[in-house]
Structure 1
Amino acid sequence: MHASKGDRLVMHGRVVGQQERIVEIVEVLGPDGTPPYRVRAENGHETIMSPGPDTIVDHRKAAGPA
């Protein structure tokens, strides 16, 4: 998995009916765009994560402040 600052991670639900979670990458901590990533959720919470196989990178940049 390779990502850049501003990309989004889309984590698919693991059970039927569970919604996707989308977070924005605010810092790439691994070499050459590899995990771990510092991410920010819509509610502003930040954490460091290494995404699992149920996660894809959305290379469209997240929308900035209006």
Structure 2
Amino acid sequence: MKANKGDWVIVRGHQVGEPTRKALILDVHGHDGEPPYVVRWDDGHESTYYPASDAVIEQHAPSGAHG
């Protein structure tokens, strides 16, 4: 998994009714975009995060990108 500062980590709920969690990547500590990531979760807390197989990266579109 590779990500950049400003991308989002999306973690889907594991059970019916469990919400999807979203975190903004504030910093990338691994080599060449690899984890660990410093993230700010949608509830406001920050943590160091190592994504599991249930996580996906949503790439941040650069300013001026069309799509």
Q: TM-score, normalised by structure 2?
A: 0.85
Matched with 1:27 is 27
Larger radius of gyration: 2
Distance in 2, matches of 1:43 and 1:21, equals: 9
Q: TM-score, normalised by structure 1?
A: 0.86
1:16 is displaced (CA, Å) by 1.0
Is the 2:9–2:57 Cα contact (8 Å) retained in structure 1?
A: yes
Matched with 1:54 is 54
Equivalenced residues, count: 61
Q: Deviations over 1:7-61 (max 9, x none)?
A: 0000010111111000000000000000000000133311001000000000025
Distance in 2, matches of 1:14 and 1:46, equals: 21
Unaligned ranges ≥5, structure 2 = 62-67
Runs of 4+ with >2 A deviation = none
- Residue identity over aligned pairs, in percent, reads 39
Q: Secondary structure at the match of 1:32?
A: helix
